[in-house]
Structure 1
Amino acid sequence: MQSAMAVPRAAKAALAALALAIAAPAHAQPADGPQPRLPVVQLSAGIHIIHAEVADTESTRRAGLMFRRELPGNEGMLFVFENPDVQCFWMRNTLVPLSIAFIADDGTIVNIDDMAPQTDDGHCAKKPVRYALEMAQGWFAEHGVSAGRKIDGLP
């Protein structure tokens, strides 16, 4: 037989668990693993085709490529923001070295920066941008893509 005090505690615990379940986003990733693959958009940088996962919500942008163990070939992640701003990125919990291109509304690359894995160093756009594209480190240089070039196919 349950005591009178056990029922309210159990009810409180159940309500707290329910509140946490409701508050957690359906696509939240585990704290120690990568988020599931996101929808992909095809972009182009001149003759080069890029298959970029689209991170366009706060939670998908926050998780980004954290905990991924590889970023093969022409795959990347496109970060889409609601409004242009001086966007800044870091590499906490990101295991692979990346290069990031900060891209203006018209698709012009403002600047590109290389980012070392698992660091909190800030990497920022040199002016307000709506997009940022992360690729394996060196991808932009290897493909002759630099600041001033255009990325086509942006959403």
Structure 2
Amino acid sequence: MNLTRRALLTAAFALPLVAAFTPLTWMGQTLASQGSNGEGEAAPLEQRPLVIHSAQGPHRLSVEMAQTQAQRQKGLMGREVLPADHGMLFTYAREQSPHNGFWMYRTLIALDIAFIDSDGTIVAIMTMPPCESASPSNCRAYAPGTPYHAALEVNAGYFEQRGISVGDCVSLSGNAGACGSP
């Protein structure tokens, strides 16, 4: 095996390991990364308080933190209900492409999704109905058309009912209720 091929193979195996141990940060906070419980089962998702700041006032949610690839892939699949003041926050270590989206394969409830930039500003909002197809290739992808660092899923209609829109701001607990760069 030549040196170039060996270097490429080494890099291919090392990059996922580096990503697995790189601390996840968003809005200046280091977020804990959860894996499995050591018995092959996924650990319960961390719950955190989240506030959406809009002209109509602060809106408080309890969110499950989807921080690992496996947690983000599963998302809210198979859930029959999501309490009114709950959601799921998908966080990423790196900025995501405007073309990377979400889908509703095996998701049973209609959801709103807000795509959020690194400062906590909502950059896109969409409503996603469940995909009724048994084939994932027949499920539409919902891409924001703008880069993002996080995405917040809540029950469909949540944002419209509360007057939450693009340009509003999201903060996690520990950010002293402020938006923008820390």
Q: Under a length normalisation based on structure 2, what TM-score does the superposition of the two structures give?
A: 0.64
Measured after TM superposition, the shift of residue 73 of structure 1 is 1.2
Task: Indicate yes or no: 2:49 matched with 1:42.
Answer: yes
Residue matched to 1:95: 108
Alignment counterpart, residue 119 of structure 2, candidates 81, 106, 114: 106
Q: Do the aligned partners of 1:93 and 1:118 also contact (CA within 8 Å) in 2? A: yes
Supply the distance in 2 between the matched residues of 1:26 and 1:141 (Cα, whole angstroms): 40
Question: Aligned AA for 1:137?
Answer: A
Does residue 51 of the first structure (1) align with residue 62 of the second (2)?
yes
Structure 1 residues without counterparts, runs of 5 or longer: 1-23, 29-35
Tell me how many residue pairs correspond in the alignment.
125
Bigger radius of gyration, 1 or 2?
1
Match of 2:158 in 1: 139
Report the CA distance shift for 1:48/1:106 in structure 2 as closer, same or farther (over 3 A).
Answer: same
Cα 1:90–1:74, aligned 2, differ >3 Å: closer, same or farther? same
Other-structure match for 2:80: 69
CA distance in 2, matches of 1:91, 1:25: 28
Cα pair 1:110 1:126 within 8 Å, conserved: no
1:123 aligns with 2:142: yes
2-structure distance, mates of 1:93, 1:44? 28
Give the CA deviation at 1:81.
Answer: 1.0
Distance change >3 Å, CA 51–CA 117, structure 1 → 2: same
4+ residue runs over 2 A deviation:
24-28
Task: Letter of the 1:44 partner, please give it.
Answer: V
| Contact in 2 for aligned 1:107/1:154 (Cα 8 Å) | no
Q: Please, what TM-score do these two structures have when normalized by structure 1?
A: 0.75
Identity over aligned residues, as a percent? 36
